[in-house]
Amino acid sequence: MDSAVLLDILGNENRRRILRLLSHKPCYVTEISEYLGVSPKAVIDHLRKLEEAGLVESRTDSQRRKYFNISRNLRLEVDVSPYEFDMKSAYPASPNLDVSTCQYLSLNVQYDSAQAGDTEAVSDVEAGEIASLAEELNCLEGLKSELSLAQRWVHGRITDVLDQLSEEVDENGQNPIRAEILATLVAGAETVREVGREIDAPEHVVEGHLTSMAERGIVEQNDGHWTLSG
């Protein structure tokens, strides 16, 4: 997808909120309408634009309710600096990519603060310093490119792990939020409030999923503090 088109679509706050909600679970129009506090007609219009862009897709359940979910894994990068303005969007690289082949990722890049405050005229700078700066710029451009590739690999791998984790902890595969909850617990969150804040979800929703997973022995609670079982 053209990055400018994608940026324009995501420029609408309600469309961003819809995607954030759908990243937690598939929803039908009424659910999204209540979450956003806008009319179902407005929601349908936003969903139509997201579907046309290929970001969202729908399915109909046995009760003929139409559910919407995020359909593709996409990364948007925007670089803005006094020397550059660039946008690019791309599917993440394969999680099987061998990032060990990256030339620059293992570098310990050091920043020379003396150069940052250097106000000497170019004519006073030794030729060797100019060559050194040019070489560093070349290396940094390479590092930037490889970091972008690595980020795409990480993004793809995160999606794969979330898919696998969701399958393990959710029998019907409709609650990817549970995988996020477990990751948050591993990261140190213990209370419903802490988990909700980390994943940007209502506390009653978090508590409902934790209770359900506790019944399956996946998590356990002790004096209001949640941890993974075992």
Walking along the chain (230 residues) 10 residues at a time, the average pLDDT comes out as: 85 94 91 93 95 92 89 81 74 60 54 43 64 83 81 78 81 75 90 90 90 91 89
pLDDT value of position 91: 64
CA 180 to each of CA 56, 85, 98: distance values in angstroms, whole numbers, following the listed order: 20, 33, 26
pLDDT at 116: 41
3-70 and 177-228 agree in CATH topology: yes
pLDDT at 109 (0 to 100): 45
DSSP β-bridge partners for residue 88: 77
Q: Are strands 75-81 and 84-90 parallel, antiparallel or unpaired?
A: antiparallel
* CB distance 75 to 152 below 8 Å: yes
- Between CA 53 and CA 210, with CA 19 as vertex, the angle to 5 degrees is 150
Q: Determine the residue type at 126.
A: E
Domain spans of the chain? 3-70, 92-164, 177-228
| Conformational region of residue 224, where left means phi above 0, alpha means psi within -120 to 50, and beta covers everything else | left
The helix/strand/coil state of 28 is: strand
The CATH topology of domain 3-70 is Arc Repressor Mutant, subunit A (1.10.10)
3-state secondary structure of 67: strand
Q: Which CATH class is domain 177-228?
A: mainly alpha
pTM: 0.58
Assign residue 200 a region (left: φ > 0; alpha: ψ between -120 and 50; beta: otherwise). left
What percent of the chain is helix, strand and coil (3-state, nearest 5)? 55, 15, 30
